[in-house]
Structure 1
Amino acid sequence: MQIVAYLNPVTNYSKISRLETDTDYLLYSVEGKLIRQGRIQNGKAIDFSNIKKGLYFLKINANTIFKIIKN
């Protein structure tokens, strides 16, 4: 099953669904700097409210990377 991140572009939160188990995530700037890391549960949201506007890469598991636009 393919993991889904929705509400993209993001204003405050991006919800993650179709995770089989609790999963670690990493959020990187377009320059490759690690901005945030954490653990996410299926159907829960990642908080982007304190992150500057711009382009980010959200890595979930080793195989899944989403391009996220923060408005």
Structure 2
Amino acid sequence: MHATKGDRLLVHGRTVGHQDHVVEIIEVLGDHGDPPFRVRDESGHETIMSPGPDTVVRHGTGKHIH
């Protein structure tokens, strides 16, 4: 999985009752766009994430999560 700062990750809910959610990549910590990524969610919470197979990169969305 390759991404750049400003891309978004769509994380699909894996169990019943857990909805999909989107986070914004604010820093790429791996080499050549690889994970891990520092991400921020809609509430402003930041964490470091190494996405799994249930995650899709949305490149260059142009909108930022605040």
TM (normalized to structure 1)?
A: 0.34
Q: Report the structure, 1 or 2, having the larger strand content.
A: 1
User: TM-score, structure 2 length as denominator?
Assistant: 0.36
